[in-house]
Amino acid sequence: MFSFACSWILWLLPLPLLVRVLVPKASAQVRQAMKVPFLTRLDHASFTTQSRVGQYKFKKLLITLCWVLLVVAAAGPRWLGEPIALPQTGRDIMLAVDLSGSMNIPDMELGGKQVNRLNMVKHVASDFIEKRVGDRLGLILFGTRAYLQTPLTFDRNTVSSMLGDASIGLAGQQTAIGDAIGLGIKRLMHYPKDNRILILLTDGASNAGQVGPISAAKLAAKEGIKIYTIGLGADKLVVRGLFGSQVINPSEDLDEHTLKEIATLTGGLFFRAKDTQGLEAIYRTLDKIEPVTSGNTLFRPITPLYQWPLGSALALSILYLLTRFRFSWRDETKESFS
């Protein structure tokens, strides 16, 4: 559908005509003196001949067309496409992923192979990120310190890529859960309430940082930020040694009590992921709790068309100048031979 962005500008089209009608005309003697300051050229300045009248009408037509095209371009002509329904959730989700040294423990299985915890998180979380159509996503990586890797953005590919490039120990070997929550609060607090989510994934206990995890959780609750905590790590791991194989608990350091309290204080939930299937089930549950879609918003693609009348006006103005120079040169040539 064709329309104008500022249709009221079209009311300016008769402006030159109004100026011509309302502004007093100069006397004939003054006009003649202004056009022909030299009496010897009076006969050449007359518009009584058919040729001169034609030149005058042609120039007037060019000027009129230029004015019309400029006004139309200023009104913002555009083409509105058919309405498109876009899924929209309005959720603002920060992912906080632990990169401490313990994330290197190979107690997870992926595709029939033993992998460390971080590689499994990258694989599962990337699918979760891909499904968050319409949400703003951000990424925090934390260890001894917490770093903002990706601010909130609709660009899911960038978030997934940044998570894929993360490496163990990048933020230090320890675990600063409180600092990660604090950084998440800082990045989320300026967005609308009731839509702010922090998903915290860790495999240990908070043993670094300047802010305690419970204090940070209370501040998040005050700001209306909901935190979902995920405790990662298997219950059993077979380790081979000099005296044979033994079974250990690789998640002995996981502080489930604190993670549960963080979730409870903020109105979120605590999840325990002991294997790849468990983490996948958790993300499917999060999809249900924090739905991917909450209705559609209509979007109409707009194609601006102002460049066409504007370019045409420029071309006509150039033609007018060329025509004026041509007629002036022809008149001067006639005068030289007269």
236: CB partners within 8 A, 6+ apart: 247, 248, 249, 250
Question: Which band of pLDDT confidence, cut at 50, 70 and 90, is reported for residue 42?
Answer: very low
Q: Do 183 and 275 fall into the same domain?
A: yes
- 211 half-sphere exposure, CB direction, 13 A CA radius: 19
pLDDT digits (tens, 9 = 90+) for 172-197: 889 999 999 999 999 998 887 777 89
Q: Do 310 and 166 fall into the same domain?
A: no
CA-to-CA dists, residue 13 to 5, 8, 72, 73, 77, angstroms: 16, 10, 9, 12, 15
Q: Do 75 and 147 fall into the same domain?
A: no
Q: Do 288 and 255 fall into the same domain?
A: yes
Q: Do 163 and 43 fall into the same domain?
A: no
Beta strands 226-232 and 270-273, pairing class: parallel
- Give the residue ranges of DSSP H helices in the chain: 15-22, 28-35, 50-74, 117-131, 156-165, 177-188, 213-222, 256-266, 276-289, 307-337
**What pLDDT was estimated at residue 48?**
45
Q: Do 112 and 125 fall into the same domain?
A: yes
Two structure tokens written together for 205: 């206990």
Q: Do 142 and 258 fall into the same domain?
A: yes
- Measured distance CA(236)–CA(221) in Å, rounded: 35
Between 28 and 66, the higher pLDDT residue: 66
Domain that holds residue 53: 2-81+302-337
With H, G, I as helix, E, B as strand and everything else as coil, classify residue 76.
coil
Residue 253's nearest CA partner among 201, 205, 200, 202 is 205
pLDDT digits (tens, 9 = 90+) for 2-22: 889 899 999 999 988 888 888
Q: Amino acid letter at 30? A: V
Counting residues of the chain whose pLDDT is more than 70, the rounded percentage is: 79
Q: Do 172 and 317 fall into the same domain?
A: no
Most confident segment among 24-38, 45-59, 143-157: 143-157
Q: Do 93 and 77 fall into the same domain?
A: no
Contact predicate 232/279, CB 8 Å: yes
Contact predicate 333/122, CB 8 Å: no
Q: Do 91 and 226 fall into the same domain?
A: yes
DSSP annotation of 107: -
Question: Which band of pLDDT confidence, cut at 50, 70 and 90, is reported for residue 67?
Answer: very high
Whether 296 has a pLDDT exceeding 60, the answer reads no
Tell me which residue has tokens 């609060």: 185
**What pLDDT was estimated at residue 40?**
46
Between 267 and 135, the higher pLDDT residue: 267
| CATH code of residue 159 | 3.40.50.410
Give this prediction's pTM. 0.61
Count of domains for the chain: 2
CA-to-CA dists, residue 206 to 77, 125, 175, angstroms: 60, 22, 5
Q: Do 150 and 62 fall into the same domain?
A: no
Q: Do 211 and 250 fall into the same domain?
A: yes
- Measured distance CA(150)–CA(119) in Å, rounded: 19
Contact predicate 186/148, CB 8 Å: no
